[in-house]
Structure 1
Amino acid sequence: MDKLMNNHWVMKFTALFLALMLYASVNIQAGPSPAKQSANPLSPGPSSGTATVTDVPVQTYFDQENLVVTGVPETVNVDLEGPTSTLTVARQVKDFEIYADLSKLSIGTHRIQLRHKNLSEDLEASINPSIITVSIEEKITQDFPVEVDFINRNQMKEGYTPEQPIINPNSVRITASKEVIESIALVKARVNLDSADETIKRESRVTIYDRDGNVLPVEVEPSVVDITVPITSPSKTLPFKIVREGKLGEGISISSIESDPKEVTVYGPQEVLDQLEFINDVSVDLSKIQEDTEIEVNVPIPDGVKKITPEKIKIKIKVEKEEEKVFDNQPIKSVGLGEKELEFIDPDSEALDISIFGAPSIIQSINAGDIELYVNITELGDGEHDVKVEVNGPQNITWTLPIEEVKIRISSPS
């Protein structure tokens, strides 16, 4: 025995045997499971580790046509453990699935375990949360009217107001559980009125609220509606002046001109409306009138006005056979004389005969006091002047004078 102990070869084999036993003992305690150990105890095993894959979507399997499920989280976190290379692929590709299988469960509340599939056999998975409580209810579909909320209404331009909105479609179909359907209080779409000064057309998302004002995540069809909001601007009702163009045919005269309506409404900024007193240039071409006529004419839109209603008006024109009436020695008045003195040279009588023409129903009621002849000398200085005679008289008549101008003399007081 002493000889064996003193033999150096024996000592070397003994040391090697003890080293192998120690190595095997350590790997058995801390290494991988025997099924995954290398057949050769001297070769190193594959590197391993752990990783957490976040926000993994949860798939739910159930009768989607007839049932509604709540309580299933949209995503979960999954802790993975296994070979580093396999972990890397799983974390980057996310080619595995987390699911909740409710296909065999009845209506009611259940606690179920989330499961995984399509995960590499080399990996172990821990789902967080792994146990969830779900509620399975019968699916109900019901129609609800859509209401419109105006936001920033106080930011509209001054004087402008929104009218009743037009919603298309005016109702939506909501699908949810009976409990959720019964909790619906409002179905709203929103329209921003900031700086609005004309009709607004918008697409708006539909939002569903419960009685506490909470938004309900339900299925809505359609989820977006078209909204038209008429915007009313400041308005003003104005008369209009009919401008006659051209001349009537020989031998006829206007007995009446009536419009329908007699006023129009203009819309626009208040500062523009404040400057308007009437609508001008509603024109009628008399050269086309041969008999009693009803015509439709456009109403001109003044500068700065956004809209005018109605845009067209009807004008009824009645004509009669023309007659003549003469007023002799109708006095000529002066306008703008001031403190100066006026002398008529020709005619020195300070009067002219005037013939008026019109429909019998009109001229028969006209007397001399209804006809005024005058000369305007406002801008004339001292001396002799030829001045045009102007005539004021009732409408729908014409007139002639023996002369168009008179000769006068103006002088300053001495």
Structure 2
Amino acid sequence: MDKWLSHPTAIKIISLVIGVLLFAVVHFDSERSPSTVAELTASEEYDINVEFTGLGENYALRGMDPATVRVKLRGTRLDLMEAARDTKAVIDLAGIEAGVHDVPVTITKPGTVELTSFTPSNVSVQIEPLVTKSFTVDLKTDGTPAQGYKTGVPVLTPGEVSVTLPEDRMDEVGFVGIVVSIQDADENITEKKSAIVVLNKAGEEITEAVIEPETVEVQIPVSLPSKSVPISFDYTGSAPDGFAVAAVQSEVERITIYGPQEQLDKISTYPSVNVDLSKQAETGELAVTIPLAEGIAAVSPAKVNVSVTYATTETKIIPQVPVTISGLGSGLKAQLSGAGSVDITISGAPNVLASLGVANVELVADLTGLGVGNHAVLLRAELPRFVALSGSGGQVTVAITDGTTEEPATKSGNDEPTSGNGEDGSAGDGTTTPNGNGDSTAPNAEGEGDANGMVDSGGNAADPSEPIADQQAGSEESE
């Protein structure tokens, strides 16, 4: 190697390479102008937002003028780009009380750049004391519930919150509460955490308000309109053999019905609910489901308990029950033979039978479809609830005559018809005749009458005629 370096040719080659390198370096440096070299460092101005620290917890910064400062930094372009992000303008408000104050600005910057100037060096701040006030939480609803539904009284928990604001802004508060959508709602609305907002009197949100707590729970009842109406029951079926119903009692007398308002307005008393006594084998309570009436969406309660009390069946004779005529054809007259009253035997619970008499039962001779002649008519007994007829109501013989033919009245004995109402002899609308109890009973309108009175189809009484001959029970009518 030493031999090669000592060779003249090698030395020439090495010299040539070094010369070329030096030429290149000199050539490239000469192309760079003096101004380009100077641009490696520069100065830039930036507008920096003023920040503050140290403000007491009972105060609020209500204003700052100006809110930015202009700073001038010097350094390389790369350093300046980074410094623009990291340079801050800060004012210290520690110990400053309410009022207007001039506070010096402190600039903090990275060490890689130089702060050559900034302006202004002070800013004016307005400090206001904070106040806290309690407000009742209000509720605003947005939209409308589903058709036919309505909202009830909402429940907000808690119902009161505290709001902290600068003293000069507290009077701006116009609403503290929540806004809940009820659009197309058809069931209760429950929101566990609904954010509270504070609005000014123009309806704009006051974002700087501090609210405690920040959320509330809201429950909004959504239901169909309702109405309380009385309820009644119809009883079907039979008590167990040998027993009769002594008493029935529902646990409720009124129910609440739900539905469209126009349907509720049509109902003053709920349609009778059927109770099938054949499903209750002994004294106790019977659960009855209340069916929905037309147009009603729901009822409350949906089921009611009906207390049913049974007692051993007994019988009682009701003597001399007057017979009432009904269904007499147009232009006809009818007359009962005999006394015009019948003894009947009824059955039921002892406590029910004890209070029953002639005034509580009715025997009806239905002449519907019968023409002129003598007829044996089976009697229909109309009895109070939970009372049954033992056997049949019997039958009576009825003479039906043409009401358009005048017939001479035949008087016998001392039985003379008395005009009037059968009580004081004053004029009345028809003729009354004695019944089996010695009481006077006036014929009813619409072709109805009692005892031996002759009744025409218009409900007018005629003079009684001679009693017709008794006929055997079940005999055929004779024309």
Q: TM-score, normalised by structure 2?
A: 0.53
Q: How far, CA to CA, are the matches of 1:279 and 1:119 in structure 2?
A: 92
What displacement does 1:172 show? 1.6
The 1:398–1:104 alpha-carbon spacing in structure 2 relative to 1, beyond 3 Å, is same
Deviation for aligned residue 1:169: 1.5
1:100 aligns to 2:108 (yes or no): no
Determine which of 216, 219, 227 is the counterpart of 1:225: 216
Give, as a single letter, the amino acid of the residue that structure 1 aligns with 2:383.
Answer: G
1:407 alignment counterpart: none
Counterpart of 1:106 in 2: which secondary structure? Answer: coil
Name the SS for the 1:261 alignment partner. Answer: coil
Tell me the SS of whatever aligns to 1:362: helix
Q: Give the match for residue 234 of structure 1.
A: 225
The 5 A counterparts of 1:307-346 are 307-311=298-302, 313=304, 315-325=306-316
1:188 corresponds to which residue?
177
Q: Which amino acid aligns with 2:213?
A: P
Counterpart of 1:262 in structure 2 is 253
In structure 2, the residue corresponding to 1:272 is in which secondary structure? helix
Is the Cα contact below 8 Å between 2:361 and 2:383 reproduced in 1?
A: yes
- Out of 153, 165, 168, the residue aligned to residue 176 of structure 1 is 165
Corresponding residue number in structure 1 for 2:264: 273
Counterpart of 2:61, as a letter, is V
Q: Distance in 2 between matches of 1:77 and 1:392?
A: 106
| 1:357 paired residue number | 347
2:53 matched to which residue of 1?
61
Summarize deviations over 1:159-214 as a string: whole Å, max 9, x none. 76544321111122323344545765642333445555653334543233567776
Pairwise CA distance, 1:322: 1.8
Contact 2:322 2:363 in 1 (8 A): yes
State how far apart, in whole Å, the 2-side matches of 1:115 and 1:377 are: 118
Amino acid at match of 2:243: I
Residues 36-75 of structure 1: CA distance to partner in whole angstroms, max 9, x if unpaired? xxx9727555489999999x876542256454333269x9
Aligned equivalents of 1:57, 1:399: Cα separation in 2: 104
Deviation at 1:266, TM superposition (A): 1.1
Conserved in 2, the CA contact under 8 Å of 1:199 and 1:230?
Answer: yes
Matches within 5 A, 1:12-411: 41=34, 43-46=36-39, 59-63=51-55, 65-71=57-63, 86=78, 95-96=85-86, 98-108=88-98, 109-112=100-103, 113=105, 115=107, 117=109, 121=113, 132-150=123-141, 155=144, 162-181=151-170, 184=173, 186-195=175-184, 198-202=187-191, 204-209=194-199, 215-216=205-206, 217-231=208-222, 233-244=224-235, 247-274=238-265, 276=267, 277-281=269-273, 283=275, 285=277, 287-288=279-280, 290-291=282-283, 293=284, 299-302=290-293, 304-311=295-302, 313=304, 315-325=306-316, 355-367=345-357, 370-371=360-361, 392-399=382-389, 401=391
Q: How has the CA–CA distance of structure 1 residues 47 and 199 changed in structure 2, closer, same or farther, with 3 Å as cutoff? A: same
- Partner-residue secondary structure (3-state), 1:71: strand
Does the Cα contact within 8 Å between 2:73 and 2:113 map onto a contact in 1? Answer: no
TM-score by length of 1: 0.59
Q: Which structure features the higher share of strand residues?
A: 1
Partners of 1:97 and 1:119 within 8 A in 2: no
Distance 1:131 1:250, change over 3 A: farther
RMSD between superposed Cα atoms in Å: 5.9
Residues in 2 aligned to 1:263 and 1:254: alpha-carbon distance in whole angstroms: 23
The alpha carbon displacement at 1:219 in A equals: 0.9
Q: Provide the C-alpha distance between the structure 1 equivalents of 2:121 and 2:379, rounded to a whole number of angstroms.
A: 107
Deviation at 1:250, TM superposition (A): 3.5
Residues 323, 68 of structure 1: alpha-carbon distance in 2 compared, 3 angstrom cutoff: same
Flag structure 2 segments of 5+ consecutive residues without an equivalent: 1-31, 333-340, 370-377, 394-479
- The whole-number CA distance in structure 2 between the counterparts of 1:389 and 1:81 is 123
Higher radius of gyration, 1 or 2: 2
Q: Call closer, same or farther: CA 1:118–1:303 in 2, change over 3 Å.
A: farther
CA distance in 2, matches of 1:88, 1:335: 118
8 Å Cα contact 2:236-2:274 kept in structure 1: no
Shift in Å at residue 390 of structure 1?
Answer: 7.4
- Kindly tell me: are residues 268 and 175 of structure 1, through their superposed partners in 2, closer, same or farther at Cα, counting changes over 3 Å? same
Q: Deviation per CA, 1:271-293: give whole Å up to 9, x if none.
A: 433554524446465554634x4
Gap change, CA 1:40 and 1:104, over 3 Å in 2:
farther
- Supply the AA of the counterpart residue of 1:62: G
**Which letter maps to 1:320?**
A
C-alpha contact (below 8 Å) 1:245/1:287 kept by paired residues: no
SS of 2:263's equivalent in the other structure is helix
Specify whether residues 329 and 247 from structure 1 end up closer, same or farther in structure 2 by C-alpha distance, changes over 3 A only.
Answer: same
In the alignment, is the contact (CA less than 8 A) between 1:50 and 1:79 conserved in 2? Answer: no
Residue in 2 that maps onto 1:5:
none
- 352-361 or 39-48: which moved more? 39-48
Query: Is the 1:329–1:352 Cα contact (8 Å) retained in structure 2?
Result: yes
2:6: which partner in 1?
none
Structure 2 residue identity aligned to 1:175: T
Aligned in 2, Cα 1:176/1:323: closer, same or farther, shift over 3 Å? same
- Paired with 1:220 and 1:98, the residues of 2 have a C-alpha distance of 31
Q: How many Å separate the matches in 2 of 1:389 and 1:83?
A: 126
Return closer, same or farther for 1:97/1:47 CA change in 2, 3 Å cut-off: closer
Distance 1:352 1:247 in 2: 26
Deviations 1:215-272 (A, max 9, x none): 4321112223222233464333333232546543333322332334322221221243
